[in-house]
Amino acid sequence: MKTPFNLKNLIRPNILELKPYSSARDEFNQGQETMMFLDANENPFDTGLNRYPDPQQRILKKEIEKHKGVSENNMLLGNGSDEVLDLLFRAFCRPGKDNIITLPPTYGMYGVLAAINDIENRKVLLTKDFQPDVPSILQQVDAKSKLLFLCSPNNPTGTVFSETAITQLVTSFNGLVIIDEAYIDFSETESWSKKLNQYPNLVITQTLSKAYGLAGIRLGICYASEEIITVLNSIKPPYNINTLTQEKVISQLQNIKKIKTEINLITKEKNTLLKVLVELNFVIKVIPSETNFILCEVDNANKRYDQLIEEGIVVRNRSKEPLCNNTLRFTIGTPEENKRLIAILKNLK
């Protein structure tokens, strides 16, 4: 039996004792028109942006709560989900001492953040059908294993991890299990955010960079227990989500119908591309994807990559990743782009 989960045992001692920075806008709520704000050394002349943003992003979180069905109390926003991931390292991993577990082939940032923070990255390969190898993962775990990263749907494979495997890991691992759901909006599977109440060690990250068409504004979302959110809030930069980003997301979420239409269109184009790829003679294997990209194995990835560059098309060569020899990753473009890509692929010699 595993010991009961206790967050206090996971937090770095210095973070546990931290007295967070209190910004002027933390001490007093914004939006009170009648008040005169002479507390934050801002320029008083109105530019629409002369005031610091709301450090707690209250209005924005309420909007996200409406769309995603997760309480704002279980939510932390980051400058992209990459910032959220970095906060997790800095809150829980002691440099030079602790370790994390990642499951290659997967998103490269986990390893980069581990290296930046001087944290050992214990890599446990996915199985041949791109599922977590649960026994091998649990074998790698020790008392200093703080974070386990599960990317589902996974980048670069596009595949979803089985509910059974994830459940086994969340219930057996005593550190935090982070499920990176950057591509969840393209998937048929339900978000794990619905199960937050069941698992105190569950952390979910999502992003507006992929399905929501807002990679340029940098907004990532983290869902977790209130206890975990409080820790992350205590170390985040006070004004990490700028005013333009907050306003743009609020207005974009009013267009949710348009976003859903785009997601459907991207999915349709993905299926079109998939059908073409499987028929091509230089394509060896196409991996079914629950994302907005397709990973496929070809006869010679470097050659095909260069041929596409010649045609002015940039794809991602993932051949250096384990289990991904001779693979290319195609992001799904507009119907026009997809049409052109398909025409070119069919003509490659």
Ligand X SMILES: *Cc1c(COP(=O)(O)O)cnc(C)c1O
For residue 23, with 0-12 CB atoms within 10 Å meaning exposed, 13-18 middle and 19 or more buried, which class applies? Answer: middle
Closer residue to ligand X in complex, CB, 60/345: 60
Instruction: State in angstroms the smallest separation of the CB of 67 from ligand X.
Output: 16
Q: Is residue 252 within the footprint of ligand X (CB under 6 A)?
A: no
Instruction: State in angstroms the smallest separation of the CB of 78 from ligand X.
Output: 8
Query: Residue 31: which residues within 8 A CB-CB, separation 6 or more?
Result: 54
Of all residues in this chain, which one has the CB nearest to ligand X in the complex? 80
Closer residue to ligand X in complex, CB, 72/82: 82
Closer residue to ligand X in complex, CB, 25/82: 82
| Tokens (6 digits) for 178 | 């982070």
| Main-chain dihedrals φ then ψ at residue 44, nearest 5 degrees | -75, -15
Instruction: State in angstroms the smallest separation of the CB of 97 from ligand X.
Output: 26
DSSP class of 13: H
Closer residue to ligand X in complex, CB, 74/102: 102
Question: Looking only at residues 164 through 223 of this chain, which bind ligand X when binding is defined by CB under 6 A?
Answer: 180, 182, 207, 209-210, 215, 220
Question: Looking only at residues 276 through 305 of this chain, which bind ligand X when binding is defined by CB under 6 A?
Answer: none
Q: Tell whether the torsion through CA atoms of 304, 307, 311 and 312 is positive or negative.
A: positive
Instruction: State in angstroms the smallest separation of the CB of 207 from ligand X.
Output: 3
Which contiguous run of DSSP H or E holds residue 195? none
Q: Is residue 155 within the footprint of ligand X (CB under 6 A)?
A: yes
Helix/strand/coil percentages in the chain, nearest 5: 40, 15, 45
Closer residue to ligand X in complex, CB, 182/196: 182
Instruction: State in angstroms the smallest separation of the CB of 219 from ligand X.
Output: 7
Binding mask 51-90 for ligand X (x = CB under 6 A): -----------------------------xxx--------
CA atoms within 13 A on the CB side of 139: 8
Residues 342, 199: Cα–Cα separation, whole Å: 44
Query: Residue 278: which residues within 8 A CB-CB, separation 6 or more?
Result: 286
Residues 227, 241: Cα–Cα separation, whole Å: 21
Q: Is residue 152 within the footprint of ligand X (CB under 6 A)?
A: no
Question: Looking only at residues 105 through 144 of this chain, which bind ligand X when binding is defined by CB under 6 A?
Answer: 107
Closer residue to ligand X in complex, CB, 40/215: 215
Q: How many CB atoms neighbour CB 208 within 10 A?
A: 27
Instruction: State in angstroms the smallest separation of the CB of 46 from ligand X.
Output: 31
Work out which of 64, 119, 141, 151 binds ligand X, going by CB under 6 A. Answer: 151
DSSP states along 152-187: SS-TTT-----HHHHHHHHHH-SSEEEEE-TTGGG-
Closer residue to ligand X in complex, CB, 114/345: 114
Task: By CB under 6 A, name the binding residues for ligand X.
Answer: 80-82, 107, 151, 155, 180, 182, 207, 209-210, 215, 220
